[in-house]
Chain A
Amino acid sequence: MNQDAFAAALRNSLDEIRNICPDVRCSFIFTKDSVIVAGDAHADSTAMEKAARSFQSIAEKTDAVGGLDTLLIDGDKGKVYISCLDKMYLALTTSKDADIAYLRSITRVIVPTILKLLESILPTPLKFVPPQHLTVDTLSGFKARFSADTVEIHREILKQWSERFDGKDISQVEIEAFGGKTTQCKVKAINDSNLNRKGLIRIPEKTCQMLEVKTGELVRVKPIAPQVAASLWPSLKEIRI
Chain B
Amino acid sequence: MPSKRKLREKIENVSTALEKVKAREGVIGYIHMDSTSAAVDLRDPSKTIEYAALSATTRESGEDLSKTFNLGDVNAIVLEGRDTKMLLLIFGDHRLSIFMDKNVDHNMIFDDLNLT
* From B51, B62, B68, B82, contact of A66 by CB (8 A): B82
Would you call A64 and B69 a contact (CB within 8 A)?
Answer: no
Select from chain A the residue with minimum beta-carbon distance to B99.
A65
Q: Which residues of B contact A72 (CB under 8 A)?
A: 77-79
Q: How far is the CA of A47 from the CA of B83 in the complex (A)?
A: 30
Q: Does B66 contact A (CB under 8 A)?
A: yes
| Interface magnitude class on chain A | 20 to 34
Q: For window 62-77 of chain A, which residues contact chain B by CB distance below 8 Å?
A: 62-77
Q: Which residues of B contact A108 (CB under 8 A)?
A: none
| A71 and B72 contact, Cβ closer than 8 Å, known pairs A51-B65, A58-B58, A66-B83 | no
Q: Does A93 contact B (CB under 8 A)?
A: yes
Interface string of B83-100 (1 = CB under 8 A from A): 111100000000000010
Would you call B70 and A77 a contact (CB within 8 A)?
Answer: yes
Would you call A74 and B83 a contact (CB within 8 A)?
Answer: no
Would you call A73 and B81 a contact (CB within 8 A)?
Answer: no
Q: How far is the CA of A25 from the CA of B61 in the complex (A)?
A: 20
Would you call A47 and B73 a contact (CB within 8 A)?
Answer: no
Would you call B85 and A73 a contact (CB within 8 A)?
Answer: no
Q: Does B18 contact A (CB under 8 A)?
A: no
Closest 4 CB pairs of A and B: A65-B81, A75-B71, A76-B72, A66-B82
Would you call A71 and B64 a contact (CB within 8 A)?
Answer: no
Q: Which residues of A contact B13 (CB under 8 A)?
A: none
Would you call B79 and A71 a contact (CB within 8 A)?
Answer: yes
Q: How far is the CA of A33 from the CA of B86 in the complex (A)?
A: 23
| A80 and B81 contact, Cβ closer than 8 Å, known pairs A61-B57, A65-B86, A74-B75 | no
Select from chain B the residue with minimum beta-carbon distance to A75.
B71
Interface string of A20-33 (1 = CB under 8 A from B): 00000110000000
Q: How far is the CA of A26 from the CA of B80 in the complex (A)?
A: 22
Show 10 residue pairs from A and B whose CB-CB distance is below 8 angstroms, ordered by the A residue. Answer: A25-B69, A47-B69, A58-B54, A58-B57, A61-B53, A66-B82, A67-B82, A71-B77, A74-B78, A77-B70
Interface string of A32-69 (1 = CB under 8 A from B): 00000000000000010011001101101111111111
| A68 and B79 contact, Cβ closer than 8 Å, known pairs A61-B54, A78-B70 | yes
Q: How far is the CA of A104 from the CA of B7 in the complex (A)?
A: 33
Which of A25, A65, A72 has most B Cβ within 10 Å?
Answer: A65
Would you call B84 and A64 a contact (CB within 8 A)?
Answer: yes
Would you call B61 and A74 a contact (CB within 8 A)?
Answer: no
Q: For window 14-64 of chain B, which residues contact chain A by CB distance below 8 Å?
A: 47, 50-51, 53-54, 57-58, 60-62, 64
Q: Does A202 contact B (CB under 8 A)?
A: no
Q: How far is the CA of A21 from the CA of B48 in the complex (A)?
A: 40
Q: Which residues of A contact B76 (CB under 8 A)?
A: 74
Would you call A80 and B66 a contact (CB within 8 A)?
Answer: yes
Would you call B84 and A54 a contact (CB within 8 A)?
Answer: no
Q: Which residues of A contact B71 (CB under 8 A)?
A: 73, 75-80, 93
